[in-house]
């Protein structure tokens, strides 16, 4: 029978989901609106920098025009302020009218003002602004935005004035940037305010302080420029740490952001504040929410009514299905018991795994590793692959590419490469042949057959075929089969070859017998092995001759290594025989040279060492 207590939670959850959906959409939309407007401050700065650069270029051209007028240059050199002012007045008036020029300075080379075309009565003061200092320092045009004595934000362009290669002074042109900001405000469709710190006006001129009385002010700032009504929230915007926020102003919604206002010296003056109208976006958003809310209400109501009848019918079906699943679960449990028994009958280690963890394992595995059962094993390890010993003669996890499943890697190898080494609970090494069978997607049956005895026999045979029976050194068969790969492995460094021969070894055999001679050869091999690196190759070449192959950078390195061997042999006391010496021939294998040619050369070097008195090395 249908249980009503299931329906009420469903109804509550559905209503909550509808409400959460609307809240989430409002949040996402608001966030989207904010993100679309957060770039306003960056766009403003980009526009301002671009326009300032353009204006500076234009003012620089006007400076060039003035400096190239000979009559003006002459009057400046004569320091004739009145005549210079009369000559420049028309140019200044025209520039003031056409390009909004507000400042024109004629400055002596030492920084003293000769003439302010815009303020004739002020002169003889020394300019101490950053733009002038930078131009004076670099002796080139320099421009930037500065907060001047009148406390206005002004673009200043300063350029040195040279006549016949001699610096005679500087010309500075400036303009207040109100109109530039107006243009940017219109272009970005954003209201812009400039708020300057009150502390900067502490020493302002009286007429400036009178102007400030007409400006809106907050606790710490004067609003010196604005393109719209100043909102009452300006105090909050400026004096709090907010970067952006939403406010309402004259029945419209605005997104507020701000960026630091600074001059060309990097000094922080206050803030640019931006108010971007988002009323349209909000209107569209809330209109959409209303429509969506209506749709969700209809859908939710339909779902609740339909759900009532659906749950009643489904409960009956679920009851029947549950009974069927219980029977299948019981059958699957019995199957797993039988499968586990089948696994446990196997002498080999058998597991099922996806390559990351073990699903099933037989007794052979848990017994081999010394655990009570598979759960005991899984408390310590996830996968059997963690037990693979890192030995390059066998497969191990180091041979698996990053991100690849070890089972996929070993499946792709030929049978003779599918061998791993693992330690049993007694720390004894065993070798296993691995077979993989896929039973379903990404799940495999993996068997491990112990082939330790076979591997030991194989290793012994391999050693016999590559090592000299008497001395244990490598033999010529090893040399013939491996010399190409040895040369390749040593590249790009050089392969040095040392051919050594025991001096007067025939006398040892004749005097002490061949058994003692064999012992000398064994001791001699031990001495050489102790004198060279593990990465070098010691090969018994025949009789009392041995070859050493070593990776070296130069022939000097090979000489030092050979001399080390020679001294080691010379100082050793052989049992019964005493001291013996050896002669050496050494050479470097040349790239792409036939190895037989290299051997012939080193043999000649040995012959030369013997003929020169033995117990030495010679190079060819």
pLDDT tens per residue across span 38-62: 678 888 889 989 999 999 999 999 9
Domain 38-176 has CATH 3.40.109.10: no
Mean of the pLDDT values across residues 100-119? 93
- DSSP 3-state assignment of 498? strand
Question: Which two tokens mark 339?
Answer: 């499968």
Give the C-alpha separation, 26 to 20, whole Å: 10
Task: Write down the pLDDT at residue 1.
Answer: 45
**CA 538 to chain CA centroid, nearest Å:** 45
Give the C-alpha separation, 363 to 345, whole Å: 9
Label residue 78 by pLDDT band (50, 70, 90). very high
Between 427 and 415, whose confidence is greater?
Answer: 415
Give the C-alpha separation, 166 to 478, whole Å: 85
The answer to whether 410 and 384 are in contact (CB under 8 A) is: no
Give the C-alpha separation, 119 to 115, whole Å: 8
Question: Which two tokens mark 306?
Answer: 């339909």
Judged against a pLDDT cut of 60, whether residue 137 lies above it is answered with yes
**DSSP line for 312-345:** HHHHHHHHHHHHHHHHHHHHHHHHHHHHHHHHHT
Judged against a pLDDT cut of 70, whether residue 177 lies above it is answered with yes
The answer to whether 256 and 237 are in contact (CB under 8 A) is: yes
Label residue 148 by pLDDT band (50, 70, 90). low
Between 246 and 298, whose confidence is greater?
Answer: 298
Task: Write down the pLDDT at residue 212.
Answer: 79
Label residue 19 by pLDDT band (50, 70, 90). confident
Residues of the chain with CATH 3.30.70.270: 467-619
Cα-Cα end-to-end distance for the chain: 103
Judged against a pLDDT cut of 90, whether residue 86 lies above it is answered with yes
User: Which segment of 232-236, 343-347, 412-416, 610-614 scores lowest on mean pLDDT?
Assistant: 232-236
Task: Write down the pLDDT at residue 20.
Answer: 78
Mean of the pLDDT values across residues 536-540? 95
Question: Which two tokens mark 102?
Answer: 């507000």
Label residue 453 by pLDDT band (50, 70, 90). confident
Q: Tell me the average pLDDT of the chain.
A: 86
Residues of the chain with CATH 3.30.450.20: 38-176, 346-456
Q: Among residues 72, 98, 73, 103, which one has the least CA distance to residue 86?
A: 72
Greatest mean pLDDT range, 71-80, 177-186, 231-240, 326-335: 71-80
Give the C-alpha separation, 327 to 546, whole Å: 78
Mean of the pLDDT values across residues 283-291? 75
Longest CA pairwise span in the chain (Å): 125
Mean of the pLDDT values across residues 345-361? 90
Judged against a pLDDT cut of 80, whether residue 249 lies above it is answered with no
Label residue 463 by pLDDT band (50, 70, 90). low
Task: Write down the pLDDT at residue 7.
Answer: 61
Taking CA atoms, 527 is separated from 222, 496, 572, in Å, by 92, 19, 8
Task: Write down the pLDDT at residue 420.
Answer: 93
Q: Which element (helix H / strand E) includes 159? A: strand 153-163
The answer to whether 508 and 521 are in contact (CB under 8 A) is: no
Question: Which two tokens mark 424?
Answer: 């049993």
Strands (E), 69-127: 103-108, 113-116
Between 159 and 269, whose confidence is greater?
Answer: 159
Judged against a pLDDT cut of 60, whether residue 4 lies above it is answered with no
Domain made up of 467-619: CATH architecture: 2-Layer Sandwich (3.30)
CA count, 13 A, side-chain hemisphere, 142: 17
Q: 352 exposed, middle or buried (CB, 10 Å; 0-12, 13-18, 19+)?
A: middle
Task: Write down the pLDDT at residue 337.
Answer: 77
Kindly report the CATH number that applies to the domain delimited by 346-456.
Answer: 3.30.450.20
Give the total residue count for the chain.
620
Give the C-alpha separation, 447 to 361, whole Å: 10
Tokens 């190409």 -> residue = 484
At how many degrees (to 10) do helices 514-531 and 555-570 cross?
Answer: 140
Task: Write down the pLDDT at residue 397.
Answer: 92
The b/e string for 363-402 (b: 16+ C-beta within 10 A; e otherwise) is bbbbebbebeebeebeeeeebbbebbeeeeebbbeeebee
Mean of the pLDDT values across residues 306-328? 72
Tokens 């790239």 -> residue = 591
Mean of the pLDDT values across residues 411-423? 90
Give the C-alpha separation, 448 to 343, whole Å: 12
- My answer on whether omega of the bond before 492 falls inside 30° of 0, hence cis, is yes
Give the C-alpha separation, 563 to 555, whole Å: 12
Judged against a pLDDT cut of 80, whether residue 220 lies above it is answered with yes
pTM of structure: 0.44
Give me the percent of the chain exceeding a pLDDT of 90. Answer: 48
Judged against a pLDDT cut of 90, whether residue 506 lies above it is answered with yes
Contacts of 106 (CB under 8 A, 6+ apart): 76, 84, 88, 113, 114, 115, 117, 169, 170, 171
Question: Which two tokens mark 472?
Answer: 């244990």
């Amino acid at each position: 029978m249908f249980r009503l207590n299931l329906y009420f939670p469903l109804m509550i959850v559905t209503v909550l989901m509808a409400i959460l959906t609307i809240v989430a959409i409002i949040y996402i939309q608001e966030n989207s609106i904010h993100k679309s407007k957060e770039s306003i401050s960056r766009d403003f700065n980009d526009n301002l920098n671009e326009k300032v650069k353009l204006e500076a270029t234009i003012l620089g051209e006007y400076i060039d025009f003035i400096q190239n007028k000979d009559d003006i240059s002459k009057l400046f050199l004569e320091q004739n302020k009145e005549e210079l002012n009369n000559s420049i007045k028309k140019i200044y008036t025209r520039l003031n009218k056409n390009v909004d020029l507000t400042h024109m300075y004629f400055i002596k080379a030492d920084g003293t003002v000769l003439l302010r075309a815009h303020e004739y009565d002020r002169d003889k003061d020394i300019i101490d602004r950053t733009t002038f200092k930078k131009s004076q320092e670099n002796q080139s045009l320099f421009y930037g935005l500065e907060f001047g004595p009148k406390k206005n934000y002004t673009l200043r362009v300063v350029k040195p004035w040279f006549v016949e290669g001699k610096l005679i002074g500087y010309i500075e042109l400036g303009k207040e940037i109100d109109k530039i900001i107006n243009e940017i405000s219109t272009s970005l469709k954003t209201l812009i305010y400039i708020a300057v710190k009150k502390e900067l006006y502490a020493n302002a001129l009286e007429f400036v302080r009178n102007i400030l009385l007409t400006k809106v002010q907050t606790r710490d700032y004067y609003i010196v420029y604005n393109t719209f009504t100043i909102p009452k929230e300006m105090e909050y915007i400026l004096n709090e740490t907010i970067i952006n926020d939403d406010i309402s102003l004259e029945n419209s919604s605005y997104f507020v952001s701000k960026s630091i206002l600074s001059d060309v010296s990097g000094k922080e003056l206050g803030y640019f504040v931006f108010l971007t109208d988002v009323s349209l976006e909000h209107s569209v958003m809330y209109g959409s929410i209303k429509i969506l809310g209506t749709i969700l209400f209809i859908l939710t109501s339909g779902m609740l009514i339909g759900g009532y009848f659906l749950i009643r019918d489904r409960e009956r079906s679920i009851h029947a299905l549950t009974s069927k699943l219980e029977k299948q679960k019981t059958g699957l449990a019995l199957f797993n018991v039988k499968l586990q028994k089948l696994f446990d009958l196997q002498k080999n280690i058998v597991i099922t795994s996806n390559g990351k963890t073990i699903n099933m394992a037989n007794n052979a595995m848990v017994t081999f590793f010394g655990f009570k059962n598979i759960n005991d094993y899984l408390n310590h390890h996830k996968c059997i692959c963690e037990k693979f010993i890192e030995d390059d003669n066998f497969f191990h996890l180091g041979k698996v590419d990053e991100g690849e499943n070890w089972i996929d890697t070993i499946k792709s190898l030929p049978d003779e490469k599918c061998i791993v080494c693992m330690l049993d609970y007694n720390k004894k090494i065993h070798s296993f042949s691995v077979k993989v069978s896929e039973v379903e997607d990404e799940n495999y049956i993996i068997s491990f057959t112990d082939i330790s005895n076979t591997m030991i026999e194989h290793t012994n045979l391999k050693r016999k075929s590559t090592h000299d029976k008497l001395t244990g050194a490598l033999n010529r068969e090893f040399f013939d089969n491996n010399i190409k790969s040895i040369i390749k492995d040593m590249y790009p460094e050089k392969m040095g070859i040392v051919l050594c021969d025991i001096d007067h070894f025939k006398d040892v055999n004749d005097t002490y017998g061949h058994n003692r001679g064999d012992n000398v050869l064994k001791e001699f091999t031990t001495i050489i092995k102790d004198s060279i690196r593990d990465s070098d190759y010691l090969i018994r070449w025949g009789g009392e001759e041995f070859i050493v192959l070593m990776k070296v950078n130069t022939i000097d390195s090979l000489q030092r290594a050979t001399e080390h061997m020679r001294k080691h042999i010379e100082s050793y006391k052989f049992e019964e025989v005493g001291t013996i010496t050896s002669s050496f021939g050494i050479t470097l294998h040349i790239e792409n040279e036939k190895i037989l040619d290299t051997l012939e050369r080193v043999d000649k070097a040995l012959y030369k060492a013997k003929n020169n008195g033995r117990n030495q090395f010679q190079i060819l």
